[in-house]
């Protein structure tokens, strides 16, 4: 197994370089880039479906969807009003900067204000691979259980925003939100947190307001530089 | 990236050899080995907690728990009546045969009838690494959504048993069970399927009966050889 470490290091170093190039492409145009990560089925695509129509009122939204297989998610993002590109990773359990770079080639970057990247559903490896986005967002979902920060510390540590999804299911499952919060705080104290439900729409306005403000700040920064 | 493929092939080949050795250790003692895989939070540990007390009436149960971090799951399995060993993989997103081999060293194999291995919560990479168990079991959970067979075909294709968990949440989430079944059947027609709920206990007796029958068959085979 000793051969693996240098290979992985070489891969992540090359990845970081490509991520910087992706970031530069976004920054030169004042585009805000978000990288949404989560377990399979935590609701990443549902959140995108919910916020894109609201954001599209004043932002031009591009979405890059990462999946092992199918173009279901890109179709859902496009139906919600985004310009969407699907990446199929084949066997790879995470997106890498190179994949995002190729997807950026297919997007009309000069006509976008916001880029949402939906990573492959996986609570482990996406944390290792920078994509060039500005904010890493983790979606935790209530039925996954309150132990996930403890069991997946790297993912919880590396994000700027945490979305707790499916709060409408709180009455039906065992989920001690105080235990969950203690785990999060030990890893990432003060992380910006939204509690939402795609089913009821709860919390979505606050999330949309935050994305809109971040995008405005990014655009203002681009104008000044 | 071209460097990755031969490295991965060498790793999986070495893994397969170690998996065969693990299998031989189980077979020589007539122990049934189960490998339970799923997304994070699909309910693998809850199912183990539910079935171990029932199985322990006539089987001696060992559990190997795989997680990135914490020994929560081994503690839960032990509290349910199993002899439990925790593997912490550090960053690794799946169990490998070598890790299971080391865990087997810590278990009283001559005093076991059943070994349950709970893999790391991940719907992608565990499918690539044989552990030496006899049956691969995939736990799908209703709140994950009905699109998962389509998006994670390799995992659904490689299992002998499918457990659909959290069926008590069907009234509260969008989950088209017919769409889910069509996806499963296209990949793995006729896979043995159990529908269960750890919350209500629905379906658990059938699952326990199946495990008990499989263990008896394995023991009978061991006596004959």
The complex scores an ipTM of 0.89
Interface of A with B (CB under 8 A): 1, 3-4, 7, 10-11, 39-41, 67-70, 72, 91, 93, 98, 120-125, 128, 141, 143-145, 147-148, 150-154, 166, 168-169, 172-174, 199
| A90 part of a folded domain | yes
DSSP, res B123? S
Per-residue three-class SS string for B158-216:
CCCEEEEECHHHHHHCCCCHHHHHHHHHHHCCCCEEEECCCCCCCCHHHHHHHHHHHHH
Instruction: Tell me if residue B51 falls in helix, strand or coil.
Output: helix
| A30 part of a folded domain | yes
Task: Return d(Cα A210, Cα A213) in angstroms, integer.
Answer: 5
pLDDT class for A4, splitting at 50, 70, 90?
Answer: very low
Task: Return d(Cα B120, Cα A5) in angstroms, integer.
Answer: 20
Contact call for residues A197 and A163 (beta carbons, < 8 A): no
Write the CA distances from B134 to B22, B36, B51, B110, B153, integer angstroms: 10, 11, 18, 18, 21
Distance from CA of B40 to the nearest CA of A (A): 6
For CA atoms B172, B174, B178, B181, the dihedral sign is: negative
State the CATH number of the domain containing residue B34.
3.40.50.300
Nearest chain A residue to B153, by CA: A69
Q: What are phi and psi of B36, to 5 degrees?
A: -100, 125
Regarding predicted confidence, which is higher, A5 or B96?
Answer: B96
B10 contacts in A (CB within 8 Å)?
3
Instruction: Tell me if residue B137 falls in helix, strand or coil.
Output: strand
| A152 part of a folded domain | yes
Write the CA distances from A207 to A22, B61, B201, integer angstroms: 25, 47, 37
Q: Residue-wise pLDDT tens for chain B (225 aa)? A: 334 456 667 888 999 999 999 999 999 999 999 999 999 999 999 999 999 999 999 999 999 999 999 999 999 999 999 999 999 998 899 999 999 999 999 999 999 999 999 999 999 999 999 999 999 999 999 999 999 999 999 999 999 999 999 999 999 999 999 999 999 999 999 999 999 999 999 999 999 999 999 999 999 987 665
Distance from CA of B59 to the nearest CA of A (A): 29
As a residue count, chain B comes to 225
| A157 part of a folded domain | yes
Q: What is the pLDDT of residues A152-174, one digit of tens each?
A: 999 999 999 999 999 999 999 99
Distance from CA of B199 to the nearest CA of A (A): 8
For B41, which of A1, A10, A148 is closest by C-beta distance?
Answer: A148
Interface of B with A (CB under 8 A): 1, 3-4, 7, 10-11, 39-41, 67-70, 72, 91, 93, 98, 120-125, 128, 141, 143-145, 147-148, 150-154, 166, 168-169, 172-174, 199
| A85 part of a folded domain | yes
| A123 part of a folded domain | yes
Distance from CA of A172 to the nearest CA of B (A): 7
Which residues lie below 8 Å from residue A141, measured CB to CB, with a gap of 6+? A38, A39, A41, A42, A43, A164, A165, A166, B41, B143
Domain hosting residue A200, numbered range: 4-219
| A224 part of a folded domain | no
| A225 part of a folded domain | no
Question: How many domains, chain B?
Answer: 1
Predicted model pTM? 0.93
B93 contacts in A (CB within 8 Å)?
93, 122, 124-125
For B172, which of A148, A154, A172 is closest by C-beta distance?
Answer: A172
């Amino acid at each position: 197994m000793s051969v693996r470490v240098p290979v992985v290091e070489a891969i992540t170093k090359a990845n970081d370089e490509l991520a910087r190039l992706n970031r530069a492409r976004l920054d030169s145009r004042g585009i805000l880039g978000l990288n949404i990560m989560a377990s399979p089925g935590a609701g990443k695509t549902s959140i995108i479906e919910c916020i894109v129509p609201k954001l599209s009122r004043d932002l031009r939204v591009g979405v890059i969807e990462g999946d092992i297989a199918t173009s279901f998610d890109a179709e859902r993002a496009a139906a919600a009003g985004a310009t969407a590109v699907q990446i199929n990773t084949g066997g790879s359990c995470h997106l890498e900067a190179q994949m995002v770079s190729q997807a950026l080639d297919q997007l009309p970057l000069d006509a976008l204000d916001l880029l949402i990247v939906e990573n492959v559903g996986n609570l482990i490896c996406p944390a290792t691979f920078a994509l060039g986005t500005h904010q890493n967002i983790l979606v935790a979902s209530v039925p996954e259980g309150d132990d996930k920060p403890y069991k997946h510390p790297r993912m919880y540590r590396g994000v700027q925003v945490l979305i707790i999804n499916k709060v409408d299911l709180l009455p039906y499952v065992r989920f001690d939100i105080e235990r969950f919060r203690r785990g999060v705080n030990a890893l990432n104290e003060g992380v910006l947190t939204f509690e939402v439900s795609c089913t009821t729409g709860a919390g979505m306005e606050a999330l949309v307001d935050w994305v809109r403000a971040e995008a405005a700040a990014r655009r203002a920064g681009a104008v000044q530089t």
